[in-house]
Amino acid sequence: MTDHNWWKKSVVYQIYPRSFMDSNGDGIGDLQGIRSKLDYLQKLGVDVVWLSPVYKSPNCDNGYDISDYRDIMDEFGTMADWEALISDMHHKGIKLVMDLVVNHSSDEHAWFIESRKSKDNPKRDYYIWRPGDKDTPPTDWGAMFGGSTWKYDELTGEYYLHMFADKQPDLNWENEQVRKEVYDMMAFWLDKGVDGFRMDVINMISKKEFLAPYEDFVNGTAVNKPYKPNSPRLHDFLQEMNREVLSKYNTITVGECVDINAERAQLVTAEDRHELNMVFQFEHMSLDQQPGKSKWDLKPLDLMDLKENLSKWQYQLSERGWNSLYWNNHDQPRIVSRFGHDGKYRVISAKMLGTLLHMMKGTPYIYQGEEIGMTNIKFKTVNDYNDIETINMYNERVGQGYNEPDIMASIYAKSRDNARTPMQWNGTDHAGFTTGTPWLKVNPNYETINAEQALKDPDSIFYHYQKLIRLRKELPVVVYGQYDLIAKEHPDIFAYTRTLEDTVLVVVNNFHDKEAVFEWPSHISHDDADCLISNYPFDLKQDLSSIKLKPYESFVLKCR
Ligand code: TEU
Ligand code: CA
């Protein structure tokens, strides 16, 4: 019988292909490189790989600007390489999720090249065009990578909408033909064997509510509203996509949703609504920024905020809907540098963070290098950075008179390139990532932090993650158990229970670099407690009613 809920029991590993493994010495990771590392992924035990975009792209945003949705980027290889990759993966029992980037395309996509040509081009309406004079954009909306969301195109004297870079024009989802093109393209990949999609900023696709119709601009009566993601029409589009494509295949789907709250996420992921399996949401990723400001405006994390936030999502999606669990992706800084300790307690704190996340209810995602505790990067000058968001912010803030050290401090904490330095495979030149010159410099700590070293050390973060993945497979309570926050008021400890029938897991994490005392909850018996995983040797014979925790100590006890 086909198991349609396999994605609830799965662990996903994200690969950012440009930085994973280079097979031909041009300094850029590629498909054959990934193929050569499948044994490594199998050893870790992950079920699914999510591959960031590998389609044809001029790379203004490293593949998130697609110029042909049905072909492979030359730098990454050929369609034959891709076919060999998916075939090898399937033989090893690993599923493949592709990135679906359909809020926008590249301005070099054939559709946009046509759309630009004239106001009556058949593809004009594939994108969002509005009249306006050269100095006054149609709305005052700001783009995610700085500046206005509107770019004036001399050719026809109109503006097109781009929520991200100006080389990423937004597709017009109100156009039925556009939606059909997208669904056909999805079927093309599903028929080639892909097992699902991660959908880039999928909750931004609907703009109708906020943007006056074209005619009103022409008549001079246009009234726009401030743009917000999550328009109600999102659900219509997702249900249509499900009906037209997804329901015909056995897939895993995860929608990247910026600024979504738990109530709306529940609507997107409730099984009876037939939209998506889960969303990738960002609330916990904004707890270390100043409220109302941008991610570059730093603020230390307060553990109480994190406990409250992650618990809210656990409770809200406990019965209806499903969570994804993550600390990292290609847009976020490295978690051990961010919420852990990347000096003396690097290994211990990375294990603690892994346990804290993987014992929760939901589908965990591991981002390449997280399993060996890779850290943030500090390049000396902005010239060593590649990321468009980082560079645009730098220029904008220099223009606004910020001082250089403050800007660099923001970059060190939050630049997306923290996640994008090449994967550290071994202690040889360029971390064994390439024999050439890497497209982005390798983190100099590769001599001590690398996969080869991790595989040799039975106490490594790698084997800790391997064990966390195995526990999920062995114990239904990890997949299905009810979540409850305990030690709620403790300022240093993040602890919770997972309960399924008569099994209770007690998950205890000291989040800080000092000792703390965990008082055992009186409603749970620890008489036959068994330790499933820990980051220091755990003594079961000690008095469990009050446990003294070392810095970043973490353990999971199974009780009944
Ligand atoms: O990211 C969505 C997004 O909103 C990002 O701008 C995110 O908020 C930011 O990177 C955090 O600093 C997705 C992709 O994951 C990202 O890589 C792309 O650049 C973006 O969409 C446009 O496709
Ligand atoms: Ca290469």
For ligand 1, say whether the CB of 178 is within 6 Å of any of its atoms: no
Which residues face 532 on adjacent strands? none
* Per-residue model confidence (pLDDT) at position 219: 95
* Per-residue model confidence (pLDDT) at position 201: 98
Please confirm, yes or no, whether 99 is among the known catalytic residues: no
**Average pLDDT value for residue range 151-165:** 98
**Average pLDDT value for residue range 498-526:** 97
Q: Which of 65, 166, 200, 553 is catalytic?
A: 200
- What is the Å distance from ligand 1's center to 389 Cα? 9
- What is the Å distance from ligand 1's center to 49 Cα? 19
Please confirm, yes or no, whether 553 is among the known catalytic residues: no
- What is the Å distance from ligand 2's center to 370 Cα? 22
Ligand approaching nearest to the C-alpha of 164: 1
**Average pLDDT value for residue range 303-321:** 97
- What is the Å distance from ligand 1's center to 331 Cα? 6
Joined tokens for residue 156: 């026809």
Is the pLDDT at 2 greater than 80, yes or no? no
Q: pLDDT band at 271, cuts 50/70/90?
A: very high
**CA-nearest residue, atom 9 of ligand 1:** 331
DSSP-assigned letter for residue 1: -
**Average pLDDT value for residue range 204-217:** 96
* Per-residue model confidence (pLDDT) at position 352: 99
Q: Which of 331, 385, 390 to mutate to test the pocket of ligand 1 (most atoms within 8 A of CB)?
A: 331
**Average pLDDT value for residue range 74-100:** 98
**CA-nearest residue, atom 5 of ligand 1:** 331
Q: pLDDT band at 1, cuts 50/70/90?
A: low
Is the pLDDT at 140 greater than 80, yes or no? yes
Parallel, antiparallel, or unpaired for β 278-280 and 252-256? Answer: parallel
Helix (H) or strand (E) holding 358: helix 346-358
Residue 282 corresponds to which amino acid? F
- Which parts of 326-382 are beta strand (E)? 363-367
User: What percent of the chain stands above pLDDT 70?
Assistant: 100
Joined tokens for residue 421: 């330095």
For ligand 1, say whether the CB of 22 is within 6 Å of any of its atoms: no
Residue ranges of domains in the chain, CATH in brackets: 9-103+176-188+260-466 (3.20.20.80), 110-161 (3.90.400.10), 480-559 (2.60.40.1180)
Q: Which of 170, 256, 370, 553 is catalytic?
A: 256
Is the pLDDT at 287 greater than 70, yes or no? yes
* Per-residue model confidence (pLDDT) at position 135: 93
Instruction: Pick the atom of ligand 1 nearest to 295's CA.
Output: 12
For ligand 1, say whether the CB of 201 is within 6 Å of any of its atoms: yes
In angstroms, the CA 189 to CA 51 distance is 13
Q: Which letter, b or e, does each residue of 60-95 get, where b requires 16 or more Cβ atoms within 10 Å of its Cβ? A: bbbbbbbbebeebbebbbeeebbeebbeebeeeebb
Query: Per-residue pLDDT tens for 355-376?
Result: 999 999 999 999 999 999 999 9
**Average pLDDT value for residue range 145-170:** 97
Is the pLDDT at 69 greater than 90, yes or no? yes
- What is the Å distance from ligand 2's center to 24 Cα? 5
Query: Per-residue pLDDT tens for 34-62?
Result: 999 999 999 999 999 999 999 999 999 99
For ligand 1, say whether the CB of 498 is within 6 Å of any of its atoms: no
**Average pLDDT value for residue range 425-450:** 98
Evaluated on CA atoms 127, 128, 131, 137, the torsion sign reads negative
In angstroms, the CA 323 to CA 223 distance is 37
296, exposed or middle or buried, with CB in 10 Å at 0-12, 13-18, 19+?
A: buried
Contacts 24+ apart (CB under 8 A), 258-261: 258/201, 258/203, 258/204, 258/229, 258/282, 259/203, 259/228, 259/229, 259/230, 260/203, 260/229, 260/230
For ligand 1, say whether the CB of 64 is within 6 Å of any of its atoms: yes
327 touches 280 (CB < 8 A) = no
**Average pLDDT value for residue range 460-481:** 98
* Per-residue model confidence (pLDDT) at position 3: 80
Is the pLDDT at 521 greater than 80, yes or no? yes
Q: What is the mean pLDDT of the chain?
A: 97
